[in-house]
Structure 1
């Protein structure tokens, strides 16, 4: 089965500003939504993982180690962009994400990587 970019979605964890989802969608033209928009911001991580797993082509962007552990334990989908830097302004967060997002897409969607790390 051929998978196209418009089959994929980015889901941004509750600790990431929803404005990042808009900037991300403008940059890569892949649907990007925050947990707030999805009404998942008060939902346990394991349930979010299960919901994303059923949708198949989801990449979660999170600072939360729980998603890394769930994917290591239960597998993919979903895939993960693991943010490994501390709190920052939206602008700095976006600059760091933007500098790596095309590489992340290449490795997560077109390659065989399950978790892509973005460090400071």
Structure 2
């Protein structure tokens, strides 16, 4: 579970239902790109909004965020999902076993990017 002052934002490739399941599992604030109205914005615009917000962990399958965080720094911190297309339940079952550890690494260290593969 992330500290209270952190939010988790899921990128467009991840369904809003995964945000709901993750919020219930973690007991934390988890928002989908749709609830944030980010689904039609460029990756750079999403990165800039997350940076302006502060303590945000982006979760994405998009390699562009990896490049943005490496080039421009954090926040936001990033969890990169390295899994191909699948249904929502399978994706959540892939993420769930490692999400708590990934969040802990990002919120308690100087690590900016964690990959789940």
- 1:77-116 aligned at under 5 Å gives the runs 77-116=75-114
**Per chain length, whose mean CA-contact separation is higher, i.e. which structure has more relative contact order (CA < 8 Å, sep 6+)?**
2
TM-score scaled by structure 2? 0.96
- 1:1-120 aligned at under 5 Å gives the runs 5-119=3-117
CA distance in 2, matches of 1:60, 1:31: 12
List gaps (5 residues or longer) in structure 1.
none
What is the aligned length? 116
- What is the CA deviation profile of residues 58-115 of structure 1, one whole-angstrom value per residue up to 9, with x for unaligned ones? 0000000110000000000000000011011111110111011111011001122110
Kindly state the Cα deviation for residue 19 of structure 1 after the two structures are TM-superposed. 0.3
TM-score scaled by structure 1? 0.93
Q: What root-mean-square deviation, in Å, do the aligned CA atoms of Structure 1 and Structure 2 show?
A: 1.0
CA distance in 1, matches of 2:77, 2:9: 10
